[in-house]
A and B are shown apart, each in its own frame.
Chain A
Amino acid sequence: MLRYLKLYWYFVIQRFKILMEYRLNFFIGSISTVLFQGASLVALWAVLRQVPSIQGWTFEQILLIYGLLTLSKGINHLFADNLWVVGRDYIRPGQFDRFLVRPINPLFHLLADRICHDAIGDFIVGLSLVSYAMVQLQLPINLASIGFIILMVISGGIIFIALNLITAATSFWIMDSIAVTNVVFHTNEFAQYPLTFYHRSIGVLLTWLVPYGFASYYPASYLLGHEIGWMAWLAPLVALVCIMIAYKVWLLGLRNYGSTGS
């Protein structure tokens, strides 16, 4: 374990050396997510300034959901962005074999190979939204609530990583998984708003099949004092189950891996 931490640190340092070679790109990457999300948020604000609330949800409450989801997404973006391109950049060109002949876990190597600094933008947006919403809504900001948020954001991040890991593993069979990941990943957009906005089936889907709801709607409901019972605390368990299943799928794919010849 300690060895892996040391190795990870080493990878991070190397990555930063590369990034610092292209400082302008580093800066632009970091603010790119801020710009995109800023545009969507201004649009959301423009609509919601004309109405007091939607089905009981105010603008600030929706921002809390949006912010929590963005933070979880940021964790996935920072640590596991390479899962998107495992097929295109590693398996297809035969680069993946490199990982298999080294004495460390191939998945660890894949993830550590590219830490994605663009996630800084996600953290800036997410943190600002959550703190703004908490203050505006006069929610208690204390050790308990902060601890709860951290726990939920980490669980949410793991759920994101787990789902991407499952879809990424399909590239062991179909070579390039970006198209698969793309579709599954985008279901997270539903979790930007309260799940009650949707048809019941979508709510069930986002809770039990692609459980992004645990990264946003459920923790936000708990913070707002809505009555959701034990669902508020389920996220860590769901995350654990997801990541275990995902890792099994990954290993299954790895056993199926036949390289690209020559």
Chain B
Amino acid sequence: MDKLYYRLRIYRSVVGINIKEVLAYNFWFWSQIGAHVLLTIAYISFWKALYSERDTIAGLNMQQTLTYIILARIVMPLVQWGYTQEFGYWIREGTISSELLRPVDFQERIYIGHLTRTFISLAQQLIVVGSLALFVFKISLPTDPLVWLSFLISLLLGCSILFCFDWIFGCIAFYSTEVWGLQVVRGSVLLLFSGVLLPLTMLPTELQTIAKWLPFAQSVSVPVSILSGMTPLSELDSIWLQQLVWLGVMFMLSRLMFNFSVRKITVQGG
């Protein structure tokens, strides 16, 4: 019991530090939001132009697609980056050695920080992009609290799956010591196969199959489809089950991969 209390106390400060870190870079934050909003306007206009001459594309009508797109834009900043850069930094600067010496589990601590950032970012995006959707584009967001709750659970699972994947992916940096290239590959694959650019059902079937076997869709397409009403709530059981299986596998692999590859580290000058 005491031990649990001790851990909770540590995590409370991890959460606090992450909140402070996010809020410290105010100017940069607004700039990012500004650029994101501009791009969102461009996207929405593109899709509106696309629908101006027809009622459905790939079986989706304009309202469905626009709702999906705007919600995907809200989720996108949450999943964009991953942890390759951090892994590179920890190794290059050698801070990994002191990180590993701390009395709490390394991955767990980073994960708590990651979730804090994710949900702050979600709140910010909901406020900014959400009001853009409501007031400028007149796109109605769902009002049923049950749908929102299901979305949040699915998003939490999806972001955890992606986190474990990024952990595995980041471990490659132990071998390659090259992170920019890894980042680029991850970013491009995510762009196409996560569903941030378009509803995945619009992709050709072969690409849809690939998307299904990659973890990226779990964090964007799956939760956003629930929230935009494309996935009926009756399918939730099987979706959550799938996500839990994904999470279980990814988590095990991430532990194995990290414990295995951490032995490879050479800290320069350490």
Interface residues of A (CB under 8 A from B): 24-25, 28-29, 31-32, 35-36, 38-40, 42-43, 46-47, 49-51, 54-55, 178-180, 182-183, 185-187, 189-190, 192-193, 196-199, 202
Contacts and interface: CB of A to CB of B under 8 A. Distances in A.
Given A28-B184, A32-B184, A187-B38, 14 more contacts: A35-B188, A36-B188, A39-B191, A39-B192, A42-B192, A179-B28, A179-B31, A182-B32, A183-B34, A189-B39, A190-B38, A190-B41, A193-B42, A198-B45
Contact of A24 (B27, B31, B53, B178): B178
B134 interface: no
A47 B35 contact: no
B203 A46 contact: yes
A202 B207 CA distance: 34
A202 to B, nearest CB: 7
Given A186-B38, A193-B42, A40 B178 contact: no
A55 B48 CA distance: 11
Given A54-B53, A183-B31, A193-B46, A46 B207 contact: yes
Contact of A47 (B41, B50, B53, B178): B50
A99 B50 CA distance: 50
B31 A55 contact: no
Contact of B187 (A36, A178, A202): A36
A183 B30 CA distance: 9
Contact of B39 (A24, A49, A186, A196): A186
B56 to A, nearest CB: 10
A51 B57 contact: yes
A187 B82 CA distance: 26
A187 B38 CA distance: 7
Nearest to A41: B192
B39 A28 contact: no
B250 interface: no
Interface string B171-206: 000000010110011011101100001100011100
Interface of B: 27-28, 30-32, 34-35, 38-39, 41-42, 45-46, 48-50, 52-54, 57-58, 178, 180-181, 184-185, 187-189, 191-192, 197-198, 202-204, 207
Given A178-B28, A183-B31, A192 B42 contact: yes
Contacts of A38: 188
A47 B57 contact: yes
A93 B41 CA distance: 37
Contact residues of B: prevailing secondary structure: helix
Contacts of B187: 35-36
Given A28-B180, A179-B30, A190-B42, A54 B35 contact: no
Nearest to B30: A179
A179 B36 CA distance: 12
A25 B180 contact: yes
A37 to B, nearest CB: 9
A198 B137 CA distance: 12
A36 B191 contact: yes
A165 B30 CA distance: 21
Given A54-B53, A189-B38, A35 B202 contact: no
Contacts of A54: 49-50, 52-53
A149 B130 CA distance: 40
Contact of B178 (A28, A32, A198): A28
Contacts of A43: 191-192, 197-198
7 contacts: A25-B181, A28-B181, A36-B188, A51-B50, A51-B53, A183-B35, A198-B45
A187 B36 CA distance: 10
Task: Please name the 3 residue pairs, one residue from A and one from B, whose CB atoms are nearest each other, closest first.
Answer: A179-B31, A28-B181, A197-B49
Contact of B202 (A25, A47, A179, A196): A47
A139 B203 CA distance: 30
Nearest to B182: A28
B1 to A, nearest CB: 47
A112 B198 CA distance: 40
Contact of A183 (B38, B42, B48): B38
Contacts of B45: 193, 197-199, 202
A35 B180 CA distance: 13
Given A43-B197, A179-B28, A35 B185 contact: yes
Contacts of A196: 49
A32 B28 contact: no
A176 B41 CA distance: 27
A31 B52 CA distance: 36
